[in-house]
Every structure is written in structure tokens, then in C-alpha cells.
A and B are shown apart, each in its own frame.
Chain A
Amino acid sequence: MSHKSPKTKAEDEIDENLRRVYQQVLEEDIPDRFKNLLSQLKTSGGEPQEEREGKDRS
């Protein structure tokens, strides 16, 4: 993809595995808790819980 400097076999295997580990999570569906969280954040206008103080509006 990027530059093609000569890589050692070890580096190649490590990078391939790093990408595999990362990719595996990347391809998972986003759990509902995050969709719920985002819609909750949106409706509360930047204040997720009472404990937080939103300073967006001035």
C-alpha cells in the first residue's frame, strides 16, 4: 500500500498479524450501547449526565 522498503520476514509476519487483530475488531458491528449513547448525547444537547457541565452554549 505505502512505500515498499525491503521488509524482513519477521516484520512482515508481525505487521500482518497486527493488521489482522485490528481488522477483526474494525469489522465487528458497533454494539447498540454506542448508538444509544450517541442518541442520548444528542438529545441532551451535550450534557450526557447531570454530573457534567456543558459549556457549549454561551
Chain B
Amino acid sequence: MSHKDPRDELVEHLPAMRAFAVSLTRNGSLADDLVQDTVVKAWTNFDKFQTGTNLRAWLFTILRNTFYSHRRKIKREVADVDGIYAAAVATKPSHDGRLQMKDFMRAFDKIPVEQREALVLVGASGFSYEEAAETCGVAIGTIKSRANRGRKALSELLGLNEGEELEMTDRATMAVLAANGSSSV
């Protein structure tokens, strides 16, 4: 093994694995149990990992597969896993009237886990649609539609106006666009 051993790199991916696990489980201690199982599985399967390929995507794949197989058991043991976490989440102060974290969390907990997963992978983890699709073992189009449906569902739950353009309300932006000869509107 002349290449960098993925076993040594694993530790660098632990924070991301925990963040992804929390998005899936919506529960801190379940998330850490999930990461622990993932690490053990990855360790015993490193001979199947192709050096030079995307280690994080590979680890995330194991993590989500583990999650989905555990999920049935968890659901049976704890009736309201999601609710417990939602209640435990601390509210961060919102700046300039933006969404309260707590409200967002509550909505986030209500959307299907497949949509949460797609949203987190492409919206927060920095994965490309391609990497997200590979991680979830589905087509790119599936990831895109899950993410879109997730955004739409969240918008509805949070009462956000989807049609509203972010920057178009800003006069300065409008002026710049006009000055640049943009023929919008």
C-alpha cells in the first residue's frame, strides 16, 4: 500500500459523517451510534474501497445504508424519535427577521427522510448532484426531484412565498441590472 491509507483519512470525515447522521436520525445519540456502526463497517470493508475514489461518498453510502436498515428497529423502539429531537434543539437567535432555527427544524422533521437526505447532501454537505446520486444509489434526476420536492414542502410548511425573488426587491440591484443593460422585466 503506497497510497495514503483510507484508514488514516477516516478521522477527517467524522465531523461530516456526524452531521449527515444527525440530518437522517434527527437525534444526537442515535446519530453517534450510527456513525460508530458505520466506522466499524467501513473498517472491515476497506478492502472493497478503491483508493483514489471519493472516500466521503463511500462512507456516506455505508452510513445511509446502515441507517435505513436500523430505521425499522428504531421506529419500533421509540415511537416519536423525531419529536424528541425537535424539542431538544436549541433555538438560535434569528437575525433580521429570518427564520427561527426551531421553526425550521420542526418543518425539517416533517418532510420524508429521502427528501431530507437529498437536501442535506446537495444543500449543505457540498456534494454535487452526481455525488449525492451515487451515495444514495439513485439517478441524478431522482436526487434533483427529491431536493425540489423537499424545498417545496419546507416552503409550504414554513409559509414562505416561493415565487418571491430574493434580490429583486433591492433597488440597488435593480439599478445595477438596468445599468448593465439587462432587459429583465
Q: Which A residues are closer than 8 A to B by beta carbons?
A: 6-28, 30-31, 33-34, 37-38, 41-42, 46-48, 52, 54-56
Contacts and interface: CB of A to CB of B under 8 A. Distances in A.
Given A6-B165, A6-B167, A10-B164, 12 more contacts: A8-B164, A9-B164, A14-B154, A17-B99, A18-B124, A21-B108, A28-B18, A34-B11, A37-B36, A37-B39, A46-B43, A47-B44
B39 A7 contact: no
Contacts of A27: 15
A37 B166 contact: no
Interface string B20-64: 101100000001100110011001101100000000000000000
Contacts of B164: 8-10
Contacts of A12: 166
B117 to A, nearest CB: 11
Given A9-B164, A9-B165, A10-B160, A37 B125 contact: no
Tell me what chain B mostly uses at the interface: helix, strand, loop, or mixed.
Answer: helix
A56 B166 CA distance: 53
A40 B120 CA distance: 31
Interface of B: 7, 10-11, 14-16, 18-20, 22-23, 31-32, 35-36, 39-40, 43-44, 46-47, 92, 98-99, 101, 104-105, 108, 119-120, 123-125, 151, 154-155, 158, 160-168
A10 B161 contact: yes
Nearest to B161: A10
A38 B44 CA distance: 12
B162 A10 contact: yes
Given A8-B166, A34-B36, A48 B19 contact: no
